[in-house]
A and B are shown apart, each in its own frame.
Chain A
Amino acid sequence: MLEGGSADAVRELKFRDPARARAMVDALTRLTVDIGRAPVSVMHVCGSHEQAIAKFGLRAVFPRALNVIMGPGCPVCITDTPEVDEGVVLARQGVHIATYGDMVRVPGTALSLADAQAEGAKIHVIYSAAQAVDLARSIRDDVVFFATGFETTAVATAAIVLNGVPDNFSILSAHKYIPPVMEIVAEMPQTRVEGFLAAGHAATITGWGVFEPFVARHKLPVVVAGFEPLDILAGLVKLLELIRDHTPQVSNMFPRCVTREGNLRAQDQLWKVFRPTGGRWRGIAHVPNGNLRLRDEFAHLDARRRFTIDLTSLWDYAPPLLAQSCICGDIMAGISSPSDCTLFGQECSPEKPVGACMVSSEGACRIWHQYGGHPDLRGVA
């Protein structure tokens, strides 16, 4: 990626230029003054955006009048409890479960996959969908790929299906599709979001055109942005300009990666294998067309059809009391922040997560825990 391969060159990259960052922060401040309302609330829907915002300390330089809300953008966090339960039950039935690392620790109604593993279930952490297929090829027992994530990882799942998989391989899809949830959040009365920052990497697949119907319906601007500090600041500047000018439209501020059409081949694979269907996102709501399930042609690969998943077998377990105090849902909807949670940093920590938001490195609570929340450091000399 970098000519010469020097890592220090990263610091010199134009996307990490502190002087340009300061100019953009000044522009943000001017724009909030122009808009003349406080706060101006915008939402991003991507855990990677929150990671970058937190890691580079951008909240300390955002103008006070700008409220950047973290929306439901962490794929681990929004995987719903019953979906985790399905994985746990299958694992307890003796099926090998292959899944991404963070999913192992996400709490279900009573147990996480890690708890099931401690009881003897066979859980395998994989780093790519292809590894799950490799696992199935290397053993004779049934392997279920508990497939999670947004359209970015769903494309990888689709690709392995189309490439052909062994007979002992099936898929428990908990994949989610981002564009529909933006409709839900836009209509939530509590959030009062005036514009969205959309995730650049997902848009490389869907293309920025996918947001045009949303903009037409909700009259809210959407800006596609990348993940370097300057990408995010430039995206926010553009978003505030569109808000100031009352110009609801899609703007692509990540043109080095994102086109209007997106990756047509990937989209073709995605929709060949998956169909959108309604379903709950943890803590958010029922999201019409927000879940991706295998199409009927691939029913033989669908773990939900291949196995009887008896969720009543979990009824002997009382759900942990602590989980009832968890406010992950409100946090993901942008209504509350981790500091509003009585468990945060106390009963709930990355080592012993109560809620899903504390598990993933893209979860709001985990990010706050790692980077010290959002203390007001603007005044520090």
Chain B
Amino acid sequence: MMRRGLVDDRLGLKYGAGGRAMRALVERVCLAGLGDVPVDGIGLAAMDDAAALRVGDRWLVITTDSHVVQPIFFPGGDIGRLAVSGTVNDLAMMGATEPLGLTCAIILEEGFSKADLERVYASIREACREAHAPIVTGDTKVMGRGELDGLVVNTTGVALCDRVVSDAGLHPGDVLIVTGTMGDHGMAIMAARHQLALEGDLRSDVAPINGLVRAALDAGGAGIVAMKDPTRGGLSSALHEMAEKGAVGILIEELAVPVRAATRAAADLLGIDPLVVANEGKAVIGVRPGAANAVLEAIRRHPLGGGAAIVGRCLSEHPGAVILDTGFGRRMLSEPEGELLPRIC
């Protein structure tokens, strides 16, 4: 009996953290009775980044996401940029890189500053411009003081595409590419939230990367077999999901994983592995070995992909497991259980 799969009667923060606990909650509670609705395509039960529904000979890809980041403004971005990027990137991870439109629903706490709201909308507009994704409808509500914390932004995105890439398509021998440095968003947020006076430039990587993904898809074609954005739970959670769904083992070369110096320093100080820290402008892309170099070069040519690297490969052994080669030895890469807490002693 695995207690890990059980869900507590009262839901703590760990159930939203993108790790094992959150997957247990979604599988046991949210999906019950919903996930098995027959869908021609990729539905809820697949727990992929977005759903893909067949429309004629094309795919309608749809996803939704609610954003509640604290602080609302952080180095490198804010909740508005995050809300657009998160949804655009989830669509892109399915291969749907040209969003038809986004919805944007905002719930404000009574007393929220108009100037701050204008700032949020300004960055929503800017991110939409970068992603070539128009906001086509929206909703605004105000709730009483204390009924929520500042601001909640929900975005939904729809797009059409000809070929869907799931996060379950890995096979032994496939190569794994990350499109840039890992852990920047989460460390920037943690430093801002805990007011850590850390030296170095900690900045979130939050950005819409549909253009970068399009460049990769154009270069790799059918050689791109799986994609996932390593958001909450970081690279580790994304790899564990991909390994489990593809029934492959994954071997990661730790020294090949790009991590910015400032991010690594902050993570070391807090006793946190950058590989479990969230990204908001990166992707993990699984590629057939023959296509790996072409895809890597295409990503590196993109302005957001200069730091891309091949970080690992898929094995037939240890299906579902992620093995980390540290350069000195090997161990299992752990999947975060819940909220990341700075080491306390």
Query: In the complex, what distance in Å separates the CA atom of A166 from the CA atom of B241?
Result: 55
Instruction: Contact check, B343 vs A60: say whether CB atoms are below 8 A apart.
Output: no
Query: In the complex, what distance in Å separates the CA atom of A61 from the CA atom of B14?
Result: 34
Interface membership of A271, Cβ < 8 A: no
Q: Which 6 A-B pairs have the closest CB atoms?
A: A372-B332, A101-B344, A57-B329, A57-B331, A60-B330, A7-B265
Closest to A59 in B: B329
Interface segment among A29-37, A195-203, A208-216, A373-381: the answer is: A373-381
Pick from B255, B327, B328, B332: contact of A375, CB below 8 A: B332
Interface membership of B199, Cβ < 8 A: yes
List 28 contacting pairs A-B, 8 Å CB cutoff, sorted by A: A6-B261, A7-B262, A7-B268, A10-B268, A18-B255, A18-B327, A56-B329, A56-B331, A57-B325, A58-B329, A61-B328, A61-B330, A100-B344, A125-B344, A127-B345, A229-B328, A345-B4, A346-B2, A346-B4, A349-B337, A351-B14, A361-B343, A369-B334, A371-B331, A372-B334, A375-B332, A380-B249, A380-B318
Q: Which residues of A contact B343 (CB under 8 A)?
A: 361
Instruction: Contact check, B345 vs A377: say whether CB atoms are below 8 A apart.
Output: no
A101 to chain B, nearest CB (A): 3
Closest to A62 in B: B329
A368 to chain B, nearest CB (A): 10
Closest to A374 in B: B331
| B interface with A by C-beta (< 8 Å) | 1-4, 14, 199-200, 249, 251, 255, 261-262, 264-265, 268, 271, 315, 317-318, 321, 323-334, 337-338, 343-345
B287 to chain A, nearest CB (A): 19
Within 8 A of B (CB), among A322-381: 345-347, 349-351, 360-361, 369-373, 375, 377, 380-381
Instruction: Contact check, A21 vs B328: say whether CB atoms are below 8 A apart.
Output: yes
Closest to B327 in A: A18
How many residue pairs, one in A and one in B, have C-beta atoms under 8 Å apart? 100
Query: In the complex, what distance in Å separates the CA atom of A233 from the CA atom of B327?
Result: 13
Query: In the complex, what distance in Å separates the CA atom of A381 from the CA atom of B313?
Result: 11
Q: Which residues of B contact A54 (CB under 8 A)?
A: 331
**Contact of A377 with B331 at beta-carbon distance under 8 Å, contacts A7-B268, A18-B255 already known:** yes
Instruction: Contact check, A101 vs B345: say whether CB atoms are below 8 A apart.
Output: yes
Interface membership of A8, Cβ < 8 A: yes
Closest to A361 in B: B343
Interface membership of A275, Cβ < 8 A: no
Closest to B316 in A: A381
| A53-72 near B? 1/0 per residue, CB < 8 Å | 01111111100000000000
Closest to B12 in A: A351
Instruction: Contact check, B337 vs A372: say whether CB atoms are below 8 A apart.
Output: no
Closest to A6 in B: B261
B272 to chain A, nearest CB (A): 11
| A268-288 near B? 1/0 per residue, CB < 8 Å | 000000000000000000000
Query: In the complex, what distance in Å separates the CA atom of A371 from the CA atom of B333?
Result: 6
Q: Which residues of A contact B323 (CB under 8 A)?
A: 377, 380
A29 to chain B, nearest CB (A): 14
Closest to A381 in B: B315
Interface membership of A11, Cβ < 8 A: yes
**Contact of A380 with B328 at beta-carbon distance under 8 Å, contacts A102-B344, A346-B3 already known:** no
Instruction: Contact check, B268 vs A377: say whether CB atoms are below 8 A apart.
Output: no
Instruction: Contact check, A361 vs B331: say whether CB atoms are below 8 A apart.
Output: no
Interface membership of A164, Cβ < 8 A: no
Query: In the complex, what distance in Å separates the CA atom of A349 from the CA atom of B21?
Result: 13
Q: Which residues of A contact B261 (CB under 8 A)?
A: 6-8
Interface membership of A5, Cβ < 8 A: yes
Q: Which residues of A contact B318 (CB under 8 A)?
A: 380
A281 to chain B, nearest CB (A): 19
Indicate the member of A18, A57, A101, A360 with the most B CB atoms within 10 Å.
A57
Closest to A104 in B: B344
Query: In the complex, what distance in Å separates the CA atom of A101 from the CA atom of B345?
Result: 6
Query: In the complex, what distance in Å separates the CA atom of A7 from the CA atom of B262?
Result: 7
| A99-111 near B? 1/0 per residue, CB < 8 Å | 0111000000000
Instruction: Contact check, A56 vs B3: say whether CB atoms are below 8 A apart.
Output: no
Q: Which residues of B contact A7 (CB under 8 A)?
A: 200, 261-262, 264-265, 268
Instruction: Contact check, B326 vs A56: say whether CB atoms are below 8 A apart.
Output: yes
Q: Which residues of B contact A377 (CB under 8 A)?
A: 323, 330-332
A20 to chain B, nearest CB (A): 10
Query: In the complex, what distance in Å separates the CA atom of A11 from the CA atom of B268?
Result: 13
Q: Which residues of B contact A346 (CB under 8 A)?
A: 1-4
| A25-47 near B? 1/0 per residue, CB < 8 Å | 00000000000000000000000
Q: Which residues of B contact A16 (CB under 8 A)?
A: 327-328
Query: In the complex, what distance in Å separates the CA atom of A101 from the CA atom of B264?
Result: 24
Q: Which residues of A contact B337 (CB under 8 A)?
A: 349-351
| A1-26 near B? 1/0 per residue, CB < 8 Å | 00001111011000010100100000
Query: In the complex, what distance in Å separates the CA atom of A7 from the CA atom of B265?
Result: 6
Q: Which residues of A contact B317 (CB under 8 A)?
A: 380-381
Q: Which residues of A contact B321 (CB under 8 A)?
A: 372
Closest to A377 in B: B330
Q: Which residues of B contact A380 (CB under 8 A)?
A: 249, 251, 315, 317-318, 323, 330
Q: Which residues of A contact B200 (CB under 8 A)?
A: 7
Q: Which residues of B contact A233 (CB under 8 A)?
A: 328
Instruction: Contact check, A60 vs B329: say whether CB atoms are below 8 A apart.
Output: yes
Instruction: Contact check, B330 vs A8: say whether CB atoms are below 8 A apart.
Output: no
Q: Which residues of A contact B331 (CB under 8 A)?
A: 54-57, 59-60, 371-372, 377
Q: Which residues of A contact B199 (CB under 8 A)?
A: 5
Closest to B2 in A: A346
Query: In the complex, what distance in Å separates the CA atom of A56 from the CA atom of B323?
Result: 12
Query: In the complex, what distance in Å separates the CA atom of A380 from the CA atom of B338?
Result: 29
Pick from B271, B315, B329: contact of A61, CB below 8 A: B329
Closest to A5 in B: B199
Instruction: Contact check, A373 vs B332: say whether CB atoms are below 8 A apart.
Output: yes
Given contacts A349-B3, A371-B331, 15 further A-B contacts (CB under 8 A): A6-B261, A7-B264, A8-B261, A8-B264, A21-B328, A55-B331, A56-B329, A60-B330, A61-B328, A61-B329, A100-B345, A345-B4, A361-B343, A369-B334, A380-B318
